[in-house]
Amino acid sequence: MSRPLTVAAAQLGPIAKDEPRASAVARMVAMMEKASARGAALVVFPELALTTFFPRWFMADQPSVDAWFEAEMPSADTAPLFDAARRLGIAFHLGYAEIDGPHRYNTAILVGPDGAILSKYRKVHLPGHWDDEPWRPFQHLEKRYFERGNLGFPVVDALGGRIGMCICNDRRWPETWRLMGLQDAELVCLGYNTPQHYPNAPGHDRLQDFHNHLSMQAGAYQNGTYVIGAAKAGLEEGCELIGGSAIIAPTGEIIALATTRGDEVVVADIDFDTCREIRKNIFDFAQHRQPDLYGALVDPAGGAIRKAV
């Protein structure tokens, strides 16, 4: 048995504040062409891939915030991505800021080679803070600008496997991975924008790459799933973002790794049947998980929900 697929992580270098969406999209189309030429049937782009990482700035007026959001997908600006998918016969995963009526989300979509949206995910684990904190060299206002996602962690049958999505900070929470593992995810697409510098605990800056890979590798191994993690990387508006985009096997091994902090495509051959081998032999949930003892995991005392402003 074998269900092979060739896949790509498309890391984006920095996007300047004044770089228009059309420019970022053109860079992404070039990477789709490169990935396709190397045999990839799927290319994964980062979180909030169309613009600079705008939650680093406090904006008091809503129109200034909303200018960073997409009200439709595709739009005139993003249509070239969908056109390239159809032209090249390649699927893609894209992160962007989504406005839906009065609601705003940090969103990712999976788009098939026919240009149809196959699945949508809205980020659940929003990091950062709600209020203006001008002491920081840059802010991280995701809790202010986005609502918590309301679509769960959807997993869909596509491209010969079962594909889920999560976004950036989601990857540090093992619950994220398990919720997809319990749906038999075989591949998780994941975009991130991760600053090298963490103002609250700068002693840990040296560990950002390690923690990025540790989180993705553990999530892959413990759930027997492939992971494609794609970074927005490099020095963006004074904020250095880590790279380290990677394709990770269900063994937890990194099988492709970006080595720059710029636009970079890495490609790997995967086989969805490897997931089944691990799930059957090592992580047989039905045999070994003990959900009746896990009640504390869902105790409201173990978390708190505060809506975005």
Catalytic residues: 47, 123, 168
**Which of 147-166 are b and which e, b meaning 16 or more Cβ less than 10 Å from the residue's Cβ?**
bbbeeebbbbebbebbbbbb
DSSP states of 117-142 as a string? EEEEEE-SS--S-SS--TTSSS---H
When the beta carbons of 30 and 156 are compared against a second copy, the nearer one is: 156
Residue 270 CB, shortest distance to a second copy, in Å, is 16
Handedness of CA 195, 200, 206, 207 (dihedral sign): negative
Residue 205 CB, shortest distance to a second copy, in Å, is 12
Helix (H, G, I), strand (E, B) or coil at 92: strand
Helix (H, G, I), strand (E, B) or coil at 284: coil
Residue 300 CB, shortest distance to a second copy, in Å, is 6
Residue 221 CB, shortest distance to a second copy, in Å, is 6
Residue 15 CB, shortest distance to a second copy, in Å, is 26
Helix (H, G, I), strand (E, B) or coil at 236: strand
When the beta carbons of 60 and 298 are compared against a second copy, the nearer one is: 298
When the beta carbons of 31 and 155 are compared against a second copy, the nearer one is: 155
When the beta carbons of 63 and 303 are compared against a second copy, the nearer one is: 303
- How many Å apart are CA 39 and CA 275, to the nearest integer? 22
| Residues facing residue 165 across a β-bridge | 189
When the beta carbons of 99 and 214 are compared against a second copy, the nearer one is: 214
Give Cβ neighbours of residue 47 (< 8 Å, ≥ 6 apart): 95, 106, 108, 123, 167, 168, 191, 192, 193, 232
| Binding positions for a second copy, rule: CB under 8 A | 124-127, 148, 152, 169, 172-175, 177-179, 182-183, 198, 200-201, 203-204, 207, 210-211, 214-215, 217-218, 221-222, 251-253, 277-278, 281-283, 285-300, 302-305
When the beta carbons of 30 and 182 are compared against a second copy, the nearer one is: 182
Q: Sheet containing 91-100: give its strands across.
A: 117-122, 103-111, 91-100, 42-44, 4-11, 264-271
CA 262 to chain centre: 17
User: Scanning the structure block, which residue is given the tokens 């009746």?
Assistant: 292
Residue 218 CB, shortest distance to a second copy, in Å, is 3
User: Scanning the structure block, which residue is given the tokens 């196959």?
Assistant: 118
User: Scanning the structure block, which residue is given the tokens 């173990």?
Assistant: 302
